[in-house]
Structure 1
Amino acid sequence: MPKAYVYTRFDGPETEALVDLDRPSPGPGQVLVAVRAAGVNPVDWKLRTGYRRPGESGEPVFPVVLGNEVSGVVLETGADVTGFTAGDEVFGNTATGGYAEYTLLPTDITAHKPAGLSFQDAATLPVAAATAYDGVHQLGLPAGATVLVTGAGGGVGSAAVQIARALGLRVVGVASEAKKDFVEALGAVHVPSGPDLAARVRAAAPDGVDGVYDLVGEEVLTEAATLLDDRTKLITAAAPPATVEELGGARVARARDAAVLDAVARLVIDGDLDPHVTGTYPLERAGEALREVEDGHARGKIVIEVAA
């Protein structure tokens, strides 16, 4: 039977297991995909702990397959599906989890993989790069403006730095001292994380910052907000809506459509965005891949590769 990496209840890593699951069947508006690669994201382990995305409701049916983004090959299409056929190489957001040999993708958040884009890189785009793209464009800063990106060394952060740079923005990136070289290689001015963050940002950007894209939340978000005169230019992907709204900002508004996936794929093809895949693991070692992200040690993106 097909393999999948799941969690069996809400809690810690001890709930995870590699199990046999029936191959899913596509419903209306879905395609069945043979997974070639799956991106690993912080939201994966957060969902395992019981975290709910803003606006999410309903109870999960255990076991739940981990993972939210994949690339692969279409095997079968559901009713009312147009634009996709068996054999198409695609990437997108999953309906039934991505750490698996097979998964279902809703066609409205699935895109065709360009020939020049590897399965590995494509698997990193639907969550991290798309979130970065949505947030940078939501800020709407003009070329030459300065944006502060917190969590700049992670998957979303590193993509946000590169997308902002491609739009002509100056970027100040907050990350640990261990990620200094990585953040600077992306084209950002590195500011080490830790207490008194605002003072270090002011020293690095004496003319001030025009926007903040927060990927950390909590006290980092609160301190970053003090750097802005216009709080409408404060967005976060790491804090609840109520928290950031109290500061005068907003959550990242996710487009969640194929047009954004096409756009970020084009950025990779054009050389403006490097997903920076820094680690790959086979499906049998999916737990190790998730630990690397959950422990906060990953730079760029971690990918689970599934054998063809």
Structure 2
Amino acid sequence: MKGVVLVGHGGFDKLEFRTDLPVPTPAAGEVLIRVSAASVNNTDINTRIGWYSKAVTSGTDSGARQGFASAQNDDASWSGVPLVFPRIQGADCCGHIAAVGEGVSPDRIGERVIVRNLLRTYVDYRPFECWTFGSECDGGFAQYTKAPSRETFKVDCDWSDNELATMPCAYSTAEGLLHRANVQAGEHVVITGASGGVGSAAVQLAKRRGAYVTAIAGREKARLLLELGADQVVGRDEDLVANLGKETVNAAIDVAAGPGFPALLDVLKKGGRYAVAGAIAGPLVELDIRTLYLKDLTFFGCTFQEDIVFENLVSYIERGEIRPIVAKTYPLEQIAKAQQEFLSKSIVGKIVLEIPA
């Protein structure tokens, strides 16, 4: 089959398009999926460049093209366990079930599905443990992939395969953030990186909950974010406190971290909640611990997701309560160009890779 393999941590040269890859065989409890589309995510790029290594102290952008010389292979995956190469990446997958393993009903063959990107089957559903699809096991950057049947979800909707492929990683991450922070109707939520995949998903999902949304992004993207549902946009280089005032926000949904982190705590009300699932602007931040305890803030680090998060996401899709933005598509063999455009931060929404037939 055709697919892209990651052969090591580093630059775009570590991504190899191949035409001689073996089609996987589904084991007991698994399904074989004919992949039609996958999308580009920070997690795939961060894994490629070794950004998760604690030896890396800068944001994704500084090494996203060539990798990080300082990265240590021993802890360069998101789970802190050395990655096995070659690896077919791709945290997102939309496709059709082509075959089933032992114990799976053949009635599932032909279903259009998406795969939960944080897989719990392979760790026996232990709390706060999971594999990332395309990291600890092969993912969606190939014509075929396999996944646990119980974590492969049929979706009934009128969306295109490209639209569905935007969902698993970005939208479940965003919904996981909002779920952990318990965002409610009428609350004021500030969302960083709002033009990206997770950020734009969080804008839609927070509005679905009835929240008032302040989106932080480049000013040139303000119109599109307002159309997406944001109530107001603050430029990422603007003074957040001057725009919103101190102690005006109930929850901060953060995928950026970096230099803007202290201002997020300043705008949070007493008893406010801060939820984070990324650090594209830099993983090391300055925290005045007095702000944390004197304001009775609650912090949520958000990777693991309760089962209800993905199940809810599928229900939102089927009820037509959200709709993704597909900003651009590329054929799979142009994955390096797709990631370069993703890294330019010039778009709003998701970039999708179309898998060859």
Equivalent residue number for residue 126 of structure 1: 168
1-side partners of 2:272 and 2:48: how far apart? Answer: 32
- Answer yes or no: is the 8 Å Cα contact 1:109–1:256 preserved in 2: no
Q: The residue matched to 1:69 in structure 2 has which SS? A: coil
Q: 1:9 to 1:217 in 2, by over 3 A?
A: same
TM-score, normalization by structure 1: 0.88
More divergent stretch after superposition (240-249 vs 223-232): 240-249
Show structure 2 runs of 5+ residues with no match: 53-75, 118-132, 293-297
- Answer yes or no: is the 8 Å Cα contact 1:129–1:156 preserved in 2: yes
Equivalent residue number for residue 56 of structure 1: 79
- Answer yes or no: is the 8 Å Cα contact 1:174–1:193 preserved in 2: yes
Equivalent residue number for residue 305 of structure 2: 255
CA RMSD of aligned residues (A): 2.6
Matches within 5 A, 1:37-56: 37-52=37-52, 56=79
Is 1:176 paired with 2:225? no
Equivalent residue number for residue 264 of structure 1: 313
Equivalent residue number for residue 254 of structure 2: 214
Is 1:13 paired with 2:55? no
Percent identity over paired residues: 31
Q: The residue matched to 1:65 in structure 2 has which SS? A: coil
- Answer yes or no: is the 8 Å Cα contact 1:39–1:303 preserved in 2: yes
Matches within 5 A, 1:1-308: 2-20=1-19, 21-52=21-52, 56-81=79-104, 85-92=108-115, 93=117, 94=133, 95-188=137-230, 189-194=232-237, 196-202=239-245, 208-230=248-270, 233-239=273-279, 249-255=299-305, 257=307, 259-308=308-357
2-side partners of 1:36 and 1:55: how far apart? Answer: 26
Q: The residue matched to 1:226 in structure 2 has which SS? A: helix
1-side partners of 2:207 and 2:109: how far apart? Answer: 37
1-side partners of 2:318 and 2:264: how far apart? Answer: 33
Render the CA deviation track for 1:161-212: whole Å, top value 9, x for unaligned: 111111111000000112111111112110000153332233xxx8711110
Q: 1:160 to 1:114 in 2, by over 3 A?
A: same
- Answer yes or no: is the 8 Å Cα contact 2:26–2:146 preserved in 1: yes
2-side partners of 1:115 and 1:146: how far apart? Answer: 31
1-side partners of 2:326 and 2:259: how far apart? Answer: 29
Q: 1:55 to 1:287 in 2, by over 3 A?
A: closer
Show structure 1 runs of 5+ residues with no match: none
Q: The residue matched to 1:184 in structure 2 has which SS? A: helix
More divergent stretch after superposition (49-58 vs 99-108): 49-58
Q: The residue matched to 1:37 in structure 2 has which SS? A: strand
- Answer yes or no: is the 8 Å Cα contact 2:249–2:269 preserved in 1: no
More divergent stretch after superposition (243-252 vs 103-112): 243-252
Structure 1 segments, 4+ long, off by >3 Å, are 51-55, 79-84, 229-232, 239-248, 259-262, 268-271
2-side partners of 1:154 and 1:300: how far apart? Answer: 6
Give 1:54 shift: 8.6
- Answer yes or no: is the 8 Å Cα contact 2:183–2:206 preserved in 1: no
Render the CA deviation track for 1:255-279: whole Å, top value 9, x for unaligned: 264x533422332343431210111
Render the CA deviation track for 1:92-120: whole Å, top value 9, x for unaligned: 13341211111122334321021423211
- Answer yes or no: is the 8 Å Cα contact 1:131–1:254 preserved in 2: no
2-side partners of 1:238 and 1:285: how far apart? Answer: 26
More divergent stretch after superposition (48-57 vs 30-39): 48-57
